[in-house]
Amino acid sequence: MKGLLLSVGSLAVALSLTVGLSSALAANHAANAGVKVSLGSSGLGRVLVDGRGRTLYLFEKDKHGKSACIGKCAAFWPPLIASGKPLATAGAKTSLLGTTRRADGRLQVTYNHHPLYTFVKDTRKGQTSGEELDVFGGEWYAVSAAGARV
């Protein structure tokens, strides 16, 4: 009987952990599925920003809507990842939003066929520390509402 009680208790703990983990994964999936792209203010004028207000950049080395930023590049320029269709809000154009499949299988948000990235040194809304940097084999530019470099 004692062993049965221990097994039932262990089962309850395992179920509790599973439900908690499933809830956390579902919340993370939902957050990524509804990635938002909008226009925000910066020293460069109005530029595309992510849902947290961070400037979004294009990489001139990217060709045909495919990302050329992998490995160490992606550590400094994190790709904007979504698990579903991204949402255009506050001045961004739905017709210009899309996704592209990265080499690692994840979906990266695109705007006017440019894969989008943030920059690790932009820690606050409106920062554009990555503007016109020439690193990882190409130049980086903030993106306008039209989907071109600012």
What is the reported pTM? 0.78
What's the token pair of residue 134? 């020439």
Which neighbouring-strand residues pair with 138? 135
> Which residues lie below 8 Å from residue 31, measured CB to CB, with a gap of 6+?
none
Question: What digits encode the pLDDT tens for the residues 82-136?
Answer: 998 999 999 999 999 999 999 999 999 999 999 999 999 999 999 999 999 999 9
Give CA 8 to chain center in angstroms: 42
Question: Coil, helix or strand for 12?
Answer: helix
Strands 45-50 and 134-135: unpaired
Pick the closest to residue 69 from 34, 122, 37, 117 (CA basis). Answer: 117
